[in-house]
Amino acid sequence: MSAGNELIASGDYIKHHLQNLTYGQFPDGHWGLAHTSAEAKSMGFMALNLDTLSVSFVLGAVFLLLFYRVGRKMVADTTPSNTQNFIESIIDFINENIRGSFNGKNPLVAPLALTVFIWILLMNTMDLVPVDWLPYLAQQIGAFFGADPHHVFFKIVPTTDPNATFGLAIGVFLLVLYYSIKVKGFDGFVAELTLHPFESKNLLLKVLLVPVNFFLEFVSLVAKPVSHSLRLFGNMYAGEMIFILIALLPFWIQWTLSLPWAIFHILIVLLQAFIFMTLVVVYMDMAHDKGH
C-alpha cells in the first residue's frame, strides 16, 4: 500500500470512528439512517444520534438499578456489603462537597449532584473501552440485518457528542433559571440582571447603566451552559481522538502507548465528572443566593 493510500485509509478510519449512528429525515422526506456525515448534516437539528441515546440510556439504567438494589438492602442492624460501603462513600463524598459549596436549602441539590456525577462518570468511562470493540460488534449486527458494515457507525462515548453535553448543561441551566425566579422572585431576578455589577445612587445614572448591566449579566448567564457543556465535550473528545490515533499504530506500539494513556485518562474521566458536578452545585447556589 502506498503512503498516499495509507493516509486515505487512516483518514477514513478516523472519520468512521467520529461519526454517530444518526437517524432522521432526509431532504426528500423519507426517514432512515445516515450513511455519511454529509447525509447526517442534511437531516438537520431534529436528527437522533442513536448510539449516544442508547449508551447513555443503558448506563443511566445501570446506575439507577444498582443504587436501587443497594438501597433496598440497607438495614441498620446488618453488616454492610462492600458494594454498599462503596456507594455510601460516594454519597458521603457528594454530601461533603455540597456542604462546602451550597448554602441554600433545597432537597433536590444532593440527588441532582449525585445523578450528574455518576451518570457522567459512567459515560466518560466508556472512553477506556478499546475503540474498535463495540463499533466492530455494531458492524456485525448491522451486517446480520443486511446493512453495509462500512455504513454502520457507533460512537461509544456519549460525552464526545456535543448534543449530550449540551443537553445536560441546558437541563441544569433551566433548573438554575427556575430556582432563580422562584427564590428571588421575578422582580428580583430581573433586578439581578439589570442593576449589577455597576450601581449608582443617582436615579438617572442607574437607568443609564441598565443596558450595560443587562448586556454583561446576560452574556455571563448564557455563557454558563456553553462553557459547562464544551468543557466536558472538549476534554473527552480529545481523549478519544488520542485513543483513535494510537489504534492506527502498529500493534506492538499500541500497547506501549495505550496503557499509559489509559491510566492517565482515568484521572481525566474522574476529574471531568467532578468538575461538571461541582459547577452544578455552584450554579444552584448562585440561583439561591439572595444577597443582591
Q: CA 159 to CA 205: how far, in whole Å?
A: 46
List 20, 180, 235, 258, catalytic entry? 235
Residue 227 known to be catalytic? yes
Locate 80 and state its grid cell. Answer: 454492610
CA distance 187 to 181: 8
| Contacts with 203 (C-beta within 8 Å, 6 or more apart), sequence order | none
* 231 a catalytic residue: yes
- The dihedral sign for the CA sequence 191, 196, 200, 206: negative
Reported as half-sphere exposure (CB side, CA atoms, 13 A), residue 143 has a value of 8
Cα 292 from Cα 284, distance rounded (Å): 15
Selecting among 10, 85, 89, 227, the annotated active-site residue is 227
Q: What is the Cα–Cα distance from 44 to 207, expressed in whole angstroms?
A: 42
Per DSSP (E only), the strands in the chain are 22-25, 31-33, 48-49
Catalytic (active-site) positions: 227, 231, 235
